[in-house]
Chain A
Amino acid sequence: METATFARQFVIFKLENEEYGIDILRVKEIKEMMSITRVPNTAHYVRGVINLRGEVIPVIDLRKRFNLTEGTDNNNTRIIIVSVDDIIVGFIADYSSEVVEISSDAIEEAPDGIGSVDQDYISGIGKVGERLIILLDVVKIITNPAV
């Protein structure tokens, strides 16, 4: 008997050499790197704020958020604007390439100690062919206190 499956779409981006996914419903838009104003006295992973069409939006450096090695911005660096309720923030990612559809039966629970990202922030592992995509829990990344 087949269980009901449904597919969700994820925005895929890269940090170091791993691929991550964010539920597309959380993503408002993806911007190229732009000038960021540093904000003092904030958590180390907050890079600063940007001007998104007149709104001031905080930007989180995901590499720092997950304690990965520090990278340098280049032409491929993107700011992924995500929203959770009335909070809007930008995530800095190395590279964002595509949107993929992953059906719910291709998503597995995160096993212990996968990748370098704290397991708390992972909602599951998606399989697309041979690729393994780490699916992030945006709500926890934004609302959990600093690591």
Chain B
Amino acid sequence: MDVNQYLEIFIEESLEHLQELNQNLLSLETNPGDMKTLNEIFRVAHTLKGMAGTMGFTGIANLTHQMENVLDAIRTGNIEVNSSMIDILFECLDYLSNSINTISATGQESSDNANSIIAGLNSMLTKRPETKTDETSINKDPQESKMKFNQYDDNIIKKAAQQNLGVFKITVVLSKDCMLKSARAFLVFQTVERYAEIFKSEPKVEDIEDEKFDNEFTIAIIAKESEALIKKELESISEVAEVIFEKVEVPEEQDIKDITGVDNEEKETFKSLVEEKETGDDVQGKKARMGKTVRVDIDRLDKLMNLVSELIIIKTRLEGVGTDSKNQDMTEAVEYLERITTSLHDAVMKVRMVPIERVFNRFPRMVRDLAKGLSKDIILNMSGEETELDRTVIDEIGDPLIHLIRNSIDHGIEEKDERIKNNKPSSGTVNLRAYQDGNSVVIEVEDDGAGIDIDKIKRKAVERGLLSSSEADELDENSAIELLFKPGFSTADKVSGLSGRGVGLDVVKTKIESLNGLVEVENYRGKGSKFIIRLPLTLAIIQALLVNIGEEKFAIPLNVIRDIIVIEASTIRNVHGQDVVLNRGNVLPIVRISKMLDVKNASSDDNEELTAVVVKKGEKNAAFIVDSLMGQQEIVIKTLGKFLSGIRNIAGATILGDGQVALIIDSNSLI
């Protein structure tokens, strides 16, 4: 069979499964006894095995098969979860993701074999205590049959009793050398169904079909024929070693209450059964939800977005025509068009929105590995994973966050002894928070480490000749922290494998700023530090103020504008070569954009009254002098393309209603 056409689906789905596996392994580590997680891991391993088998990737199939064995042993209680086992399971995960990566790059499975990992898994299995035989013998005892009934089943039993039908539990034991257990089980089911109705089975029917049972299984039936007849029929099936019938009594009304009230153990099992039922429902719910989603190529989404952009441009143009014309119908039609395009834009934007969970997902594992490598205890708290961001931002934000988290763990959080000496809990905490704040999304990386050592930064800066020592003395805390974002600056005393190479914070800053975002730092000496990233919610379409400068038109994003003021030319003072004006009791620096952007014939140069757009960047403000204001408009951001990438002071371009191109001013670089 040619399976190449499925390769892409295989890779995509495998990656999803691995992500799930990663999460579940982490939660298993923190909560080793959680059956729900374990089952989930088992399910993932099993799915991967099936998929890899179909695709002919034997390495993956072998490894996942061995994983199943170990997981099954944990599930049945034969071996216990410990940290070395989690390590090996993580190794499996790494091997699997490497394999998938190789497959996606070359279409072939890599030739590295997983023998050492498989051997590790095997050694886990051999360590298991010899309880297995005992347990099966216990299981054989019909009195101990594991099957419990829930309320739903009880109702069925009651109804059957009303119709005078017998209800039985049948435990079927297959002979030890039975080869095709599921086929035999199928025969048993078929035979029983001729004379009775099966309403429950233990293990579940799906598991029996998958041969996920030892040598026996139990079914609950409502018999239409006599017990003896069914028993005889069943015993005549070959390889069936034993058939044990057990009459089920009709439950009393208060039975359940009794169980919960009297028998604690019973209560436990009852609870776990309910839980199991719930997990089953969960899985089904997931499946149902999956059925309603469609995978869409990102390019198609981008194309759709472009078309919506076009529509908005033409809408803006129509608005201009509409207001000029006196035709009432035209005005109404344009208004209606505007409502539709706005909804369409919102809808398309939503399609492009992805929860930040997708980026956060990889951090628990990363933090775990880092913490182990540095022998620090780190607790990672994440919140706001459901916060949504534009897909383009999501794709870019991962690396900067990795840098920040690494910094926090490596530089921020102190060694264990030092923490204890400083009366701090021995394990450090890193808080990763995401939340929406107005039109932007804020991501915070906070640690409770030593904070940023301002003196150390100054010392390093002097050492590197960035500052003279007298300059360093005068430097305030904020400007010192700014130094951290300079290329090549590192305060680490030793270069570790993690950080300290001096690439990092400058890269973080550049990246965030290229996304029209901001990075701020809050520093609490001795208590920790907090890096705050502020990102625009969407990148593609924004509200902007259009301004005239000379004969040219420029757009300033509305979200950076504080207000618009008129300045008397006579009130402008020159301080240290910088024009400033007093505004609301604060000194406001003046930026003459016409000079920064080489605009010719700007009238604002010699006017008595100047129009200024006050633009904010974090805490700082600046007044941009413009000739006149054109008005607010929804604009579609277009990049200037690779050929013109990285132009100073310009963030992009947009197309106006009349088809002209207007440039978008990058206010961050001008302040």
Query: Which of A35, A37, A46, A142 makes the CB contact (< 8 A) with B653?
Result: A37
A138 at the interface (CB under 8 A from B): no
**Contact of B13 with A by CB under 8 A:** no
Which residues of chain B have a CB within 8 Å of any CB of chain A?
A: 306, 309-310, 313, 552, 596-599, 638-644, 647-650, 653, 655, 659-663
**Nearest-neighbor residue (CB-CB) of A86 within chain B:** B642
Contact indicator B660/A39 (Cβ below 8 Å): no
Out of A38, A50, A58, A86, name the residue touching B644 (CB < 8 Å): A58
Bitwise, A71-91 to B at CB < 8 A (1) or not (0) is 000000000000000111100
**Secondary structure at chain A's binding surface: helix, strand, loop or mixed?**
strand
Q: Which residues from chain B contact A106 at a C-beta distance below 8 Å? A: none
Q: Which residues of A lie under 8 Å from residue B597 when comparing CB positions?
A: 40-41
Cβ of B310: which chain A residues have Cβ within 8 Å of it? Answer: 54
Give the residues in chain A near B306, CB-CB below 8 Å: 54
Q: Which 10 A-B pairs have the closest CB atoms?
A: A37-B661, A40-B597, A56-B638, A41-B648, A56-B653, A40-B598, A58-B644, A54-B310, A58-B643, A49-B661
Is A112 among interface residues, defined by CB-CB distance under 8 A?
no
Q: How far is the CA of A48 from the CA of B643 in the complex (A)?
A: 12
Q: How far is the CB of B552 from chain A (nearest CB, A)?
A: 7
> Within 8 Å CB of A89, what residues of B?
641, 643
Neighbouring B residues of A39 by C-beta, 8 Å: 640, 644, 647, 650, 663
Tell me if A109 counts as interface (CB < 8 A to partner B).
no
* Residue pair B648, A49 in contact (C-beta under 8 Å): no
Q: Which residue among B309, B642, B643, B662 has the maximum number of chain A CB atoms within 10 Å of its CB?
A: B643
How far does the alpha carbon of A128 sit from the alpha carbon of B648 in the complex, in Å? 45
Q: Which of B638, B647, B659 contacts A41 (CB 8 A)?
A: B647
Using A49-B653, A54-B310, A56-B655 as known contacts, say yes or no to A42 and B661 having CB atoms under 8 A apart: no
Binding site for B on A (CB under 8 A): 35, 37-42, 46, 48-51, 54-58, 86-89, 142
B658 to chain A, nearest CB (A): 9
Chain B residues contacting A51 (CB-CB under 8 Å) are 655, 659-661
Bound state CA distance, A88 and B643, in angstroms?
8
Say how far A33's CB is from chain B's closest CB, in angstroms: 14
A85: min CB distance to chain B, Å:
9
B567: shortest Cβ distance to chain A, in Å?
23
| B641–A87 CB distance below 8 A | yes
Could you list 13 A-B pairs, sorted by A, with CB under 8 Å? A37-B653, A37-B662, A38-B552, A39-B663, A40-B596, A40-B650, A41-B647, A48-B661, A51-B661, A54-B655, A58-B641, A89-B641, A89-B643
Task: Please measure, in the bound complex, the distance between the C-alpha atom of A87 and the C-alpha atom of B644, giving whole angstroms.
Answer: 10
| Bound: A49/B597 CA distance, A | 15
Q: Please, how many angstroms separate the alpha-carbon atoms of A54 and B659 in the complex?
A: 8
Alpha-carbon gap, A46 to B655, bound state (A): 19
Closest B residue to A35 by CB, please name it. Answer: B660
Residues on the A chain within 8 Å of B313, using CB: 54
Q: Is the Cβ of A58 less than 8 Å from the Cβ of B598?
A: no
Residue of B nearest to A60 (CB): B643
Which of these, A38, A41, A48, A88, contacts B641 with CB under 8 Å? A88
Contact of A49 among B552, B598, B640 (CB under 8 A): B640
Asked if B661 contacts A41 (CB within 8 A), the reply is: no
Chain A residue numbers with a CB within 8 Å of B552 are 37-38
Among A37, A40, A55, A142, the residue within 8 A (CB) of B643 is: A142
Task: For the complex, give the distance between the alpha carbons of A142 and B642 in Å.
Answer: 11
What residues on A are CB-neighbors of B663 within 8 Å?
A: 37, 39-40
Residues of A within 8 Å of B649, CB to CB, are 40-41
List residues of chain B with CB within 8 A of the CB of A58: 640-641, 643-644
Q: Which residues of B contact A37 (CB under 8 A)?
A: 552, 653, 660-663
Smallest CB–CB gap between A53 and chain B, Å? 9
Taking CB atoms, residues of chain B closer than 8 Å to A35 are 659-660
Q: Apart from A40-B648, A49-B653, what 17 extra A-B contacts exist at CB < 8 Å?
A: A37-B663, A39-B640, A39-B644, A41-B598, A46-B644, A49-B661, A50-B661, A51-B655, A54-B306, A54-B310, A55-B638, A56-B638, A56-B655, A57-B641, A58-B644, A86-B642, A87-B642
B597 CB to nearest chain A CB (Å): 4
Which residues of chain A come closer than 8 Å to B653, judged between CB atoms?
37, 49, 56
A51 to B306, CA, bound (A): 14
Q: How far is the CA of A142 from the CA of B641 in the complex (A)?
A: 13
